[in-house]
Structure 1
Amino acid sequence: MGTLIAVEFLSLDGVMEEPRWSGPWFDDEVARFQFDNLMESDSLLLGRVTYEGFKEAWPATSDPQGFADRMNALPKHVVSATLTEPEWNATFVSGRVVDAVRQLKADTDERIMLEGSATLFNALYAHGLIDELRLMIFPITLGSGKRLFDETGQTKTMELVKSQLSPSGVAILTYRPA
């Protein structure tokens, strides 16, 4: 059974949309956390909007550490009802998304990383398909924007399994369903 790990950037007030605001706090420890997440992943699971943003940015990027090479090489499972031409190592997840992701996890022993993709996150979270949640909480409030958890009124208990604080004040928290 595969493991689905959600890695998310959040403001203190829970906003995750377009995390360009995270730049001032993106220190070496946050960079190492992101690097380690990517290097230990076997594939990515992305919603269409996140996929299109990544596909625009990463193919033209290079770095001596190999982050961009890894990002470009990883297989990507993309949830989209509108895209038809797979590019950038992508396959499309179609049909009933929850069932398709459940099957994807059943068909592999790999680590699948979900980044961004709030709508997809909430659908999978509601059905208990997220095995681990890794949050980077940045010391800023934004007041508005897309939040990670929607307002469906779900209550779920999580167990904190790791915490660290970066020098710039980013709280890096890892949770698993209790």
Structure 2
Amino acid sequence: MRTLIATSFISLDGVVEAPGGEPDYRNSGWTMNSVEFDPAAYELKGTEQAEASAMLLGRISYQAFSPVWPSMTEEFPRYNAMPKYVLSTTLGEKDLVDNWGETTILRSISDVARLRAGEGGPISIHGSATLVRSLQEHQLIDRYNLLVFPVLLGAGKRLFSQESLDAQKLHLVDSQTYSNGIQKNVFDVLR
């Protein structure tokens, strides 16, 4: 079985929307505006890229990342080369970019569950808040890699589901606080 890893930049109040400056969002670019840059706080991103064997995205994140990430060859060499899976009921093959490697469209949470049950290494989920909430509700997330920023954003898409779910216990496997106040928290989901 593969490991599904949800990785996020997240505000202290749980907002994950538009951390990198995506247009048309209330607090767009909040990761760059809220703290001083400390490269050590982002080492987790390099580790994730080295360990992942595939990437899973929701439609909105795919459409935001696919025009930009393929040109970021120095920042994302492994992500650009690895297989990508996009969960969408509306995207067609014609909507996929042709310069970002192998991309497969999945149509349902059941398709994601089959992918997870198969052979291979970890699958990293970037952005994709709606997808992460749905996977949480179906108990398919295995790990959360969170960089928690010391900022309260109030409104915006949340990482965690607001549905009435049974408790999901987590085990903290790694944590660190950086000079700029960012906290790294890596949690495994206990089953």
TM superposition score normalised by structure 2: 0.85
Q: Following the alignment from structure 2 to structure 1, what is the Cα–Cα distance between the partners of residues 175 and 113?
A: 28
Q: Following the alignment from structure 1 to structure 2, what is the Cα–Cα distance between the partners of residues 25 and 82?
A: 39
Matched, 1:163 2:186: no
**What are the Cα deviations for residues 146-168 of structure 1, in whole angstroms up to 9, with x where unaligned?**
11113102232211111111221
Matched, 1:122 2:129: no
Look up the match of 2:143. 132
Q: Following the alignment from structure 2 to structure 1, what is the Cα–Cα distance between the partners of residues 109 and 36?
A: 34
Aligned-partner SS, 2:104:
strand
After TM superposition, give the deviation of residue 26 of structure 1 in Å.
Answer: 4.4
**What are the Cα deviations for residues 31-85 of structure 1, in whole angstroms up to 9, with x where unaligned?**
211111111100000001111111121122233xxx3222211111001122112
In the alignment, which of 52, 58, 67 is matched to residue 56 of structure 1? Answer: 67
Give unpaired runs (5+ residues) of structure 1: none
Q: Following the alignment from structure 1 to structure 2, what is the Cα–Cα distance between the partners of residues 68 and 157?
A: 32
Q: Following the alignment from structure 2 to structure 1, what is the Cα–Cα distance between the partners of residues 187 and 11?
A: 17
Q: Following the alignment from structure 1 to structure 2, what is the Cα–Cα distance between the partners of residues 69 and 14?
A: 29
Matched, 1:22 2:31: yes
- Give the AA of the match of 1:164: Q
Look up the match of 2:13. 13
Look up the match of 1:93. 106
Structure 1 stretches of 4+ with a deviation exceeding 3 A read: none
Q: In proportion to residue count, which structure has more helix?
A: 1
- Give the AA of the match of 2:136: Y
Aligned-partner SS, 2:68:
helix
- Give the AA of the match of 1:93: L
Matched, 1:107 2:118: yes
After TM superposition, give the deviation of residue 30 of structure 1 in Å.
Answer: 2.4
Kindly tell me the number of residue pairs found equivalent between the two proteins.
Answer: 173
**What's the C-alpha RMSD, in Å, of the aligned pairs?**
1.4
Q: Following the alignment from structure 1 to structure 2, what is the Cα–Cα distance between the partners of residues 104 and 15?
A: 28
**What are the Cα deviations for residues 65-106 of structure 1, in whole angstroms up to 9, with x where unaligned?**
xx3222211111001122112332211011xx2211111012
Q: Following the alignment from structure 2 to structure 1, what is the Cα–Cα distance between the partners of residues 189 and 79?
A: 27
- Give the AA of the match of 1:4: L
Look up the match of 1:174. 186
For residues 48 and 26 of structure 1, do their structure 2 counterparts lie closer, same or farther at Cα, with a shift above 3 Å needed?
farther
Q: Following the alignment from structure 1 to structure 2, what is the Cα–Cα distance between the partners of residues 113 and 47?
A: 12
